[in-house]
Structure 1
Amino acid sequence: MQQAIETINLPKSKLENLRKSGQYFCDDLTEASLKTLSISSPKPQSNKNTTTSLELLEEELLNGCILTYNTELDKVLSDEIVPKRITELAGFPGTGKTQICFQLCIATQLPKSLGGLEGKVIYINTNKNFSSNRVRELTRNFIKQISKVSKNNLSEEEILKNILVFNNPNVFEIFATVKYLKVFLKDKMVKLLIIDSIASPLRDIELSERTYLTYQLLEELQELATAFDFAIVVTNEFTTRVRDSEAFNTPSLGDSFFDRVNSRICLSRHSEKNFYVAELTKSPVKDLVKASFCMFE
């Protein structure tokens, strides 16, 4: 039994035109008549909140990652410190966390042709560890190192000027700074935000509130990082815990904090003098790796 054209969802005017041309059944429809039946359908509106996995991968590749230009250490850092992600540097005092942060402040400002991101740095200093003299020293040495392999216009003064330091000794001042950054960042080319250290201002908070405030802080920071396209590095201290009558060392702030950061790098001193160890214990992009390295001169 042939299918009548009336069974097709078409306007009456088009059905009438088909009948006038002698086409009463679907089998009668020719290629020419099918073209006349085409009805333009509205194009789906793109959802700005929807991104494909391929688009995200391409974005990460274009954004690049921040390295220290210390060959061995960068085996661990490679692909970890990237825009829109949170990387934790954890370790006992004296394991190089702050020194690595200083070096990242400098390397972030390199031109893209040299592997940098050409961006400024926000340094939230909670433990009075920031040293302008040490940063100047590292900057001077870094410029000498880079000039050996490439001509550049890096200036010691310009690099120091592009590290914007906020002194926030308690967690509520950090929240105030984050709120301020929502406006401050609009005309700044910031590519890295550092909190050194995130554990220090949280020690004085009651345990019942600490987890909530920590999670809320990281959530607000990540929203900013996504909106303004910068990477986040936080330093964290080790603490000693007891489980099943056995003591062990682990980063502070507990499992909920570990779940919230994207990458964790644990730092320690090597048995050999002047050597340090960096171990990647969590990563969203690569296998876990461990390396020994010398600290920056």
Structure 2
Amino acid sequence: MEAWRLPVSSSIRGKLISAGYTSLSSISSVSSSDLARDVNITEEEAFEIMKLANQASGSNSCNGSRSLINGAKNAWDMLHEEDSLPRITTSCSDLDNILGGGISCRDVTEIGGVPGIGKTQIGIQLSVNVQIPREFGGLGGKAIYIDTEGSFMVERALQIAEACVEDMKEYTGYMHKHFKANQVEMKPKDILENIIYFRVCSYTEQIALVNHLDKFISENKDVKVVIIDSITFHFRQDFDDLAQRTRVLSEMALKFMKLAKKFSLAVSIYRTHYYTSLTLTRLSLSRGHTQPVTLRLALILQSQVVLLNQVTTKYTQGTFQLALALGDSWSHSCTNRVILYWNGDERYAYIDKSPSLPSASASYTVTSRGLRNSSSSSKRVKMM
């Protein structure tokens, strides 16, 4: 049960959510005095809230235990389940290769990079490509695009949608010469209609929307990808209490994980990142990854959740370095982390963290038609 369902006044409910207490477990894990301080209420009110939360948790405990037992799986079935998970292509084969064929379901993927590197372009590309019909190897789903910065460009989405339809028609023409092929009935207008866009202007709106995603996706089961551009924007500006921010973000990451498992979706998180090209190039070469390998962004809810992140400066060993925002605790919240960086005039993607994919890098380019292979993708990553 979520905290917003508690029988309390709307003002206290809003304070709880704003302070990061979005689930019953988060309320039960603190003392009444801490809850009163964080939510800015009296200790008596905090005690009553905790009492209601404990009662609600107790009423659901039996069902929760039964659900846990019934949900047991063996590792062999899990392996076959992972192999059969669908993926979303990025339209860049080199990138898809290091991602194992594209963005996969049931993972949360964070994508970080410096401004202008193409994070939003990837987000728009995924929101279009997730709609490729199943007969063409796609998922035939819809996309949720959560825009915190106002960077979504509908004109750009139309360009990429038109290119996607043209690519499918070209593929159909080729197949007609050799095999029986399906006709392309999708139009760019249909693709834009299937991108569900949310503009959030504060961290409270962002928290409220994330809390509502479970219900929304349950009612719209054809949603296959959730893109958040970017996860960090409001949390870097409006929070002075870092402990509170960590708690709020941890609750949000937990919700993404639950959505991923429940709906077999992909969650992709984007943020701006400022690692230098030199640092990443050395890191890539030191691990022996000199050839492009396939890359894919991860999916949740049979849709993917892509989280975009921003960058900040970090003081390490006597020098300031650019690093992904939100600190080390947030870095453990996502299953996969992909870092985008410049190597000279070339854009590269580097898999910095993944439980199933090896660390690898691949070049890509952003064209008028969307993401594509770099013309010099056969080159080795050079030392700056």
- Pick one of 218, 226, 247 that aligns with 1:186: 218
* Distance change >3 Å, CA 186–CA 46, structure 1 → 2: closer
Give the corresponding residue for 2:12. none
Runs ≥4 residues deviating over 6 A: none
Equivalent runs, 1:158-177 vs 2, <5 Å: 158-177=190-209
Q: CA deviation at 1:59?
A: 2.0
User: Are 1:60 and 2:82 matched, yes or no?
Assistant: yes
Give TM-score scaled by structure 1 length: 0.80
Structure-1 residue corresponding to 2:255: 220
Offset at 1:265? 0.6
Partner AA of 2:209 in structure 1: T
1:57 aligns to what SS in structure 2? helix
Aligned equivalent of 1:283? 354
Q: How does 1:98-137 map to 2 (within 5 A)?
A: 98-137=120-159
Alignment of 1:201-240 (within 5 A): 201-203=234-236, 204-206=238-240, 207-233=242-268, 234-240=307-313
The answer for the alignment partner of 2:319 in structure 1 is 246
C-alpha RMSD over aligned residues: 1.8
Deviation at 1:249, TM superposition (A): 1.9
Residues 100-127 of structure 1 deviation map (CA, whole Å, 9 limit, x = unaligned)? 0000011111122323111111111100
1:182 deviation in Å? 2.3
- Per-residue CA deviation, residues 150-182 of structure 1 (Å, 9 max, x unaligned), is 342222111111110111122211121122222
- Residue of structure 2 equivalent to 1:267: 340
Preserved CA contact (<8 Å) 1:90 1:237 = yes
Alignment gaps of 5+ in structure 1: 1-44
The alpha-carbon distance between structure 1 residues 224 and 70, as it changes in their structure 2 partners (threshold 3 A), is: same
TM superposition shift of 1:78: 2.9
Q: Write the distance in 2 (CA, Å) between the matches of 1:157 and 1:278.
A: 31
- TM-superposed deviation, 1:271: 1.3
Percent identity, aligned pairs only, is 30
Distance in 2 (CA, whole Å) between partners of 1:80 and 1:144 is: 20
User: 1:59-110 deviations in whole A, cap 9, x for unaligned?
Assistant: 2222211121212222233356322210011011111100000000111111
Q: Can you give the 5+ residue segments of structure 2 that lack an aligned partner in the other structure?
A: 1-66, 173-182, 269-306, 369-384
Find the structure with the greater CA-based Rg. Answer: 1
Distance 2:202 2:333 in 1: 21
| Alignment partner, residue 230 of structure 2 | 197
Distance 1:48 1:112 in 2: 31
Paired position in structure 1 for 2:106: 84
Q: 251-260 or 143-152, which moves further after superposition? A: 143-152
- Equivalents in 2 of 1:79, 1:55: separation in Å? 21
